Amino acid sequence: MDETGNVASPNIVVPWRSDQDVTGLLSREWLVTNGLGGYASSSLMNVATRRYHGVFVPDLPSPRGRTIVVPRLDEEVEIGDTRVRLSGVEYADGRLDTDVPQYLTEFRREWQTPTWQYAFHGRRLSKRIIMPYGHNSVYVEYRLEAGDPLMLRLRPFVTFRRPDDSLNEARQPPFPVTILGGRYDVHLCDGVPTLKLCLRPEGGVFVADHKVSTQISYRVDRDRGSPHVENLSSPGYFAIKLEQDCAVALVASMEPWEMLEHGLDAIFSAERERLHKLMPQWAGEKDGFEILLGLAADQFIVFPGSRLEEQAVAQASADVARTVMAGYHWFTDWGRDTMISLEGLTLSTNRHREARAILLTFARYIRDGLIPNLFPEGERTGLYHTVDATLWYFHALDRYYEVTNDRETLVALYQGLVQVMEHHLKGTRFGIGVDPRDGLMRSGAEGYALTWMDAKVEGWVVTPRRGKPVEVQALWYNAVCLMGQWSETVGERPERWQGLAKQIEDSFNRRFWHESGGHLYDVIDGEGGDDPSLRPNQVLAISLRHPVLKKDRWTPVLSIVRDKLLTPFGLRTLAPGHRDYKSMYFGDLRARDAAYHQGTVWAWLIGPYIDAWLKAGLEPVEARRLLDGFRSHLSDDGIGSISEIFDAEPPYAPRGCIAQAWSVAEVLRAYQKTKQQPKDV
């Protein structure tokens, strides 16, 4: 970044000196994705700090899902009698076994490719990692840029477990290895393709040398009070002489061998070319910050890698199948996150075809008037316990239609949307349905949290919000108004929807105003009556295309939200001073979930907040300043992306997922929107 905080290129550079605190390398993480939901990721030190980390984590067909296959790669350089370890491990007793801090000079994220520069004993060595788009493969490339030849030893460790499985649930080694020529097939499990291991270009030797590494510790899981110790095994190592200006890559893949015959330059060039082609789709001038956000957005738009039948169904009707990974490392595709993210991820980057594909993909899964809340890892069937995800679908379709004017898709989806509305009017699962007395949407089921504030641990629903949540009414009103517009578009009469919208608007403004607080109730008609907690959900009553809140109350609501909830990284989920307020998201699972929506800052909320203030008259240049904190954040935590959440108090430490779809999407969308004069959308 330059001295003004602007990013000069789509690269992020993290310089390193050997006298710096090593926690700077352990606390920041890199991420590579493959467009299928699979990934590779670790700390900048290449010491795994989470049980989710791995050099190769493909998304395998159902019922597997994302599976850690190569959790660790030991990289060792031999120069005479000297050995230099370019990766490492942390043990349960606290020992950190690595030479990276001593010899690393720089980490770079070049477009989406993590790259390390090392200097030792008169030599310079670079390393970079890529996962070819649409393939379950990873290439870890090494290039000697200066100095005499050296011997490179690469030892892959192999396991077979889902990232969120207990560490003792991995299939136990040893894994049989078949060797034929320069091809090494590791047999992991019946019904799963073999793991292919090789060097490209071919050369060197493979030494069959079974090794077990015990008492490996993952410090993030340790600090969270979770199981954090694992044993790993390796079938052997590759050894090859590396000469100046020559490159070699270790390849790990679940693809057929024929897919692994391309040269290294072709593999890396193809990915760079793919990303270059995405950039011209953006209209107008783009600065470096915006390009970085666009590159981050690309990592969430994926083929449904573990649900291959979706691709077959889509192709049969000349469509494509796409979905959105809500966050790395542990979230799958969630309906709510996808619909909130759709505009920023796809429409803000002119990826209209993917936007349409996502809308069609989720439309195929509508059941009883609901889109899925989420698809569990590796499962074909979605879970539907959500009151708002379906209403967000109307918002996403509206944004798509405004940008593309794709009447054909709107018409194709319209009758399905009518059925969705009928289910909501009559009542559907989980107590979701309209109260005929006031037209407002109520919901609630024992043991479930149906809104986006959905933390639950050991049967404890932290924020049940049963009754009539404020943002659900805003979304419901917006959906009804949109149905009125769309009915005219398809040649039907709008009066039914217009009458319902009037009832909702009148009821909302009569019931939701909390006079003594000067803001909106968070929930009315709840289990304990009306809830006056000051939360950010009320912002949606202003921010959506059709705001349900009367205009004379916009500024009072936004002012108190600004004063009590606004931070440099989004909005707090609960105002300080409330008895349930938590300032930090830290500790074991119960402690974290207790804080998840009880003060913790969510980055995605900055988007609706800016929308609302622009409607209320804030100048775009002032609104854009609200995004300044995210510039430097791109070099922290998950390099090149935006975290899921942040602590509620300074220094606002990033927490949760290191790369979250709706965080990236809403910051990108808001950044673009603040370029021009505000308009009522």
What token pair was written down for 584? 């930090």
What token pair was written down for 491? 């040649």
Numbers of helices and strands, H then E, in the chain: 19, 39
Rounded CA separation 455/469 (Å): 16
C-beta separation of 19 from 628 below 8 A: no
Across the chain, which distance is largest between two alpha carbons, in Å?
84
Rounded CA separation 33/42 (Å): 12
* Residue whose C-alpha is closest to residue 578's, from 536, 534, 539: 534
* Residue whose C-alpha is closest to residue 272's, from 32, 40, 36, 111: 111
What token pair was written down for 447? 């043991």
* Residue whose C-alpha is closest to residue 439's, from 487, 386, 479: 479
Specify the pLDDT at position 611. Answer: 98
Strand order in the sheet with 39-43: 29-33, 39-43, 54-57
Identify the CATH class of 286-673: mainly alpha
Amino acid letter, residue 446: E
Specify the pLDDT at position 305. Answer: 64
Specify the pLDDT at position 352. Answer: 95
Domain ranges of the chain: 14-257, 286-673
H or E, element range at 60:
strand 59-60
Q: For residue 414, count CB atoms less than 10 angstroms from its CB and return exposed for 0-12, middle for 13-18, buried for 19 or more.
A: middle
What token pair was written down for 486? 């769309």
Helix axes 352-363, 407-426, angle to 10 degrees: 30
Specify the pLDDT at position 63. Answer: 84
* CA-CA-CA-CA dihedral for 655, 656, 660, 663, to nearest 10: -40
Q: How far is CA 220 from the centre of its chain?
A: 18
Reported as half-sphere exposure (CB side, CA atoms, 13 A), residue 310 has a value of: 27
Determine the CATH number of domain 14-257: 2.70.98
Please state, in angstroms and as integers, the Cα–Cα distance from residue 316 to each residue in 113, 142, 359, following that order: 34, 42, 17
What token pair was written down for 105? 């000079």
> ∠ CA 480-486-487 to the nearest 5 degrees?
90
Rounded CA separation 223/51 (Å): 12
Rounded CA separation 105/125 (Å): 10
Consecutive sets of 10 residues in the chain, 681 residues long: mean pLDDT of each?
46 94 96 96 97 96 90 96 95 95 96 96 96 96 96 97 83 86 91 95 93 95 93 96 95 96 91 85 72 95 76 63 93 95 96 95 95 84 94 98 97 97 97 98 96 93 97 98 97 96 98 97 96 98 98 98 98 97 93 95 98 96 95 95 98 97 98 71 45
C-beta separation of 155 from 73 below 8 A: yes
Specify the pLDDT at position 312. Answer: 65
pTM of the entire structure?
Answer: 0.94
Q: How far is CA 272 from the centre of its chain?
A: 22
Question: CATH topology of 14-257 equal to that of 286-673?
Answer: no
Rounded CA separation 355/339 (Å): 10
What token pair was written down for 443? 């919901």
What token pair was written down for 466? 């049963």
Location of structure tokens 């922290």: 636
Rounded CA separation 381/379 (Å): 6
Rounded CA separation 123/140 (Å): 19
Q: For residue 122, count CB atoms less than 10 angstroms from its CB and return exposed for 0-12, middle for 13-18, buried for 19 or more.
A: exposed
Location of structure tokens 């008609």: 525
Specify the pLDDT at position 382. Answer: 87
Specify the pLDDT at position 229. Answer: 95
Contacts of 312 (CB under 8 A, 6+ apart): none
Grouping H, G, I as helix, E, B as strand and the rest as coil, residue 77 is strand
